[in-house]
Structure 1
Amino acid sequence: MSLKDRITEEIKAAMKSQDKVRLETLRSIKKVLLEKEVSVRPSGQNQLTEAQEIEALSQVAKQRRDSIEQYTNAKRQDLADKEAAELAIIETFLPAQMSDEEVESAIAQIIAQVGAASAKDMGKVMGVAMQQLKGKADGKKVQAIVKAKLGG
């Protein structure tokens, strides 16, 4: 079952259970996926690949995290809580996130693999790291760990 089909089924279930927050979130996810699907049609592709679906969901999740941070800084906990509830729903469709230890271990291997020695090599490490960890770890977390390991 494709992600789009799973979300359609979840929308039906949310409508039956009258879960307003879940319903709104699922509809917004479906909208993003449909927009992404339309954007790739000119290249001859009719459906999104799993990687493209995860990329689209990751972008939506990142937007929610950024919103939570901004609302918290603005002392609007009510809005931050709403975004957090939506983020929790979105994350159920994303691959499991790696723990800090797993991310650190993966980055250590990447640093050894590309032969990075100083903060000047951060770009090389980040390029490979984001390719390998896309959808599995937050970009800000990866960047912070790479900076710490390279002394940046």
Structure 2
Amino acid sequence: MSLTTELNEQMKTAMKAHDKVTLSVVRMLKAALQNAQIKAGHDLSADEEKAVLATELKQRKESLTEFENGGREDLVAGVKQEIAIVEQYLPAQLDEAAVTALVTKVIAETGATGKADFGKVMKTLMPQVKGQADGALVNRIVKAQLG
């Protein structure tokens, strides 16, 4: 089932259940996908759809951080709900231990020895974790391991 079809089904279910939060998030995701499709000028591939959803998830996580830092507890709960809904449509996220293991493997494969090899490691690693790990987490682990 395509992501658009899945979102349409979820939207119908949310309407029937009077679930306003889910309905709102699903509508935002559909709009983001449609905008990306218009911008690209063709139907989106599965990877392109995942990239759009990953961007939406990243935006919500950034909002969550800002709301927590600003003491806006009234908005934190809503954003957490939105994050949970968006995560349903993305592949399972890798935990820090799994990312660390991948980074170690890629460093060994590329023969990286120091900070000068950072770009080479990231270029090899990012396609492997695309949509499954936060780029900031990957960046931090690579920098730590390259010293």
TM (norm. structure 1) is 0.94
**In the alignment, which residue of structure 2 is the partner of 1:4?**
4
Counterpart of 1:141 in structure 2: which amino acid? L
Deviation at 1:119, TM superposition (A): 1.4
Deviation at 1:9, TM superposition (A): 0.5
Counterpart CA distance in 2 for 1:100 and 1:8 is 33
Counterpart CA distance in 1 for 2:75 and 2:118 is 36
**In the alignment, which residue of structure 2 is the partner of 1:74?**
70
2:123 to 120, 127, 146: 127
**In the alignment, which residue of structure 1 is the partner of 2:92?**
96
1:39-58 matches, within 5 Å, as 39-41=39-41, 45=42, 47-58=43-54
1:102-141 matches, within 5 Å, as 102-141=98-137
2:83 to 87, 90, 95: 87
TM (norm. structure 2) is 0.97
Deviation at 1:21, TM superposition (A): 0.5
Counterpart CA distance in 1 for 2:116 and 2:110 is 12
Counterpart of 1:24 in structure 2: which amino acid? S
1:27-38 matches, within 5 Å, as 27-38=27-38
Counterpart CA distance in 2 for 1:81 and 1:125 is 37
Counterpart CA distance in 2 for 1:143 and 1:79 is 29
Deviation at 1:125, TM superposition (A): 1.1
Counterpart CA distance in 2 for 1:105 and 1:9 is 37
- Divergent runs of 4+, >3 A: none
Q: Percent identity?
A: 39
Counterpart CA distance in 2 for 1:69 and 1:131 is 26
CA RMSD of aligned residues (A): 0.9
Extract unaligned runs of 5+ from structure 1.
none
Counterpart of 2:115 in structure 1: which amino acid? A
